[in-house]
Chains A and B, each alone.
Chain A
Amino acid sequence: MNVLPDDLIAQARDGGHIGMRAGARLMTLLENDPEKQAEFLRKTGFPSGPRLVLGITGAPGCGKSTLVDALLAAFRSLHPDARIGVIAIDPSSPFTGGAILADRVRMMRHAEDPAIFVRSMASRGHLGGLALGVGGVLSVMAWMGFDIVLIETVGVGQSEVDIVRTADEVAVVLAPGNGDSLQLLKAGLMEIGGLIVVNKADKDGAEALRDGVLAMLELADTTRHREVLLVSATENRGVTELASRFESLGSANSHRRSAETRREKARQLLLQLATRRLEHSLENHPRIREELVRRIEDPSGSWTGLVQDLLAAAATADSIQPSPRKPSHV
């Protein structure tokens, strides 16, 4: 198997465009083979940081990218010397595996700022709101010396569980016109973030939505601290306040980076990588494909038995060996 080039790892520490390129190349290598993350961490001595990792999630069209753009400007003026990274994830097509990554469109005014680095990623079939390679990209950003990293999730809204494990604090973004308060009651979304941002405050219905959220929180678990902020990213209203609340809540959560959390994250990642490998062998091994066709044509016998047979076959299949040239899917 290829190893990560040491010269790229060394160059990525350079603060100029050499470092920008080397870091970007490392991100690609780790994105395309997430199993290399362990090698990267070992070679770089497990870089600590970034100081602050903040997640932004919410339904498609609620204004996440525009909010990230406004937050970049706010953090740049709060911390003029800080380098800030952005990881923006958009969905891959489940049919072709292709993707259009367009979060950058909203952030282009920062494109020439040497202190800002934006990386777009496709979800590549991974569910949970992030992509499997996000951990790797984040560790490269840590190694490059970024102080703050903002992570914008895929805009699906109700399955964004990965971000809770990855970020120090998460903002759930809502916008008027995206469904009534029943949507807020549905499990998942409201349990994610310590911050609930009602965006598009310049539009009708934003204040009513904020009131609805507050009413909903009164019914909810009172042990958890949550704040609701009314923001207009396009008119830059409430953004500085959001940035500073985000920062203090995130800093207060540094205990989330305990050894226990790191172990839990490592456990999750290993599980995901093993699942990916298992799927690959089930989908690609000729013996298993033949067996599948045979069993479907002769559907006698239990499916539980079939599943057990397939798992046993996958465990002994040749393709369970490393095969970086043929990743499992999308």
Chain B
Amino acid sequence: MSSDTPASPRRPDGGRFRILIAKPGLDGHDRGAKYVANVLRDAGFEVIYTGIRRTPEQIVRAALQEDVDAIGISLLSGAHMTLVARLTGLLAEHGADHLPLFVGGVIPESDIPELKALGVCEVYGPGTSARTLVESLTVHLEKHVHERPA
């Protein structure tokens, strides 16, 4: 897999991009989240993994303390609308709504526009290749670091 993914991009200050991967809500199927964490590590990112059954409050505090460049959440429970709305609300409350938030897991096609309206930058469904994930995320990260307040 690592040979198939492009070289990792760097932050403008030369540091590695840091990505938080979390699983909010009650379902405990973390294979997808761990797969994504591995893909990102192999692409040269630093991944902060928080494990399963996290509350949106825990995820936001972890993201702020770790000063991550993006947050990825895995959702298979069907509660994505509620959890994402809570997360984006909390991020805005803490002045961090500019952070790219991406979603993976089982999300009905019809819900994607509404998730994006809530502030989700991308939804990666089952079958997303490692290369697609890394390339797409890189675009969002580079856009973010250039727009982020100094």
Minimum distance in angstroms from B42 CB to a CB of chain A: 6
Q: Tell me the A115-164 residues at the B interface (CB within 8 Å).
A: 117-120, 122, 124
Contact A96 B2 (CB under 8 A): yes
Contact B46 A99 (CB under 8 A): yes
Which of B49-57, B74-82, B101-109, B117-125 is the interface stretch? Answer: B49-57
Minimum distance in angstroms from B64 CB to a CB of chain A: 5
Contact B45 A98 (CB under 8 A): yes
Minimum distance in angstroms from B47 CB to a CB of chain A: 5
Contact A117 B42 (CB under 8 A): no
- Give A91-102 as 1s and 0s: 1 = Cβ < 8 Å from B's Cβ atoms: 011011111111
Q: Which B residues are CB-close (under 8 A) to A33?
A: 13-14
A161 vs B66: C-alpha distance when bound (angstroms): 25
Q: Tell me the B6-62 residues at the A interface (CB within 8 Å).
A: 8, 10-16, 18, 37-38, 40-51, 54-55, 57-58, 61-62
Contact A104 B50 (CB under 8 A): yes
Contact A96 B49 (CB under 8 A): no
Hey, which bits of chain B sit against chain A, CB under 8 A?
2, 8, 10-16, 18, 37-38, 40-51, 54-55, 57-58, 61-62, 64-67, 94-96, 150
Q: Does A5 contact B (CB under 8 A)?
A: yes
A160 vs B99: C-alpha distance when bound (angstroms): 35
Contact A93 B41 (CB under 8 A): yes
Which of A20-28, A201-209, A297-305 is the interface stretch? Answer: A20-28
Contact A96 B64 (CB under 8 A): no
Q: Which residue of B lies closest to A118 (CB)?
A: B65
Chain A residues touching B, majority SS: mixed
Of the candidates A25, A111, A117, the one having the most CB atoms from chain B within 10 angstroms of its own CB is A111
Q: Which A residues are CB-close (under 8 A) to B14?
A: 32-33, 324-327
Q: Tell me the A26-84 residues at the B interface (CB within 8 Å).
A: 27-29, 31-33
Q: Does A2 contact B (CB under 8 A)?
A: yes
Q: Does A271 contact B (CB under 8 A)?
A: no
Known contacts A98-B47, A100-B49, A32 near B41 by CB under 8 Å: no
Q: Does A17 contact B (CB under 8 A)?
A: yes
| 14 A-B pairs with C-beta separation under 8 A | A20-B64, A21-B64, A21-B94, A32-B15, A93-B42, A96-B8, A96-B42, A100-B49, A111-B50, A111-B62, A112-B61, A118-B62, A325-B13, A326-B14
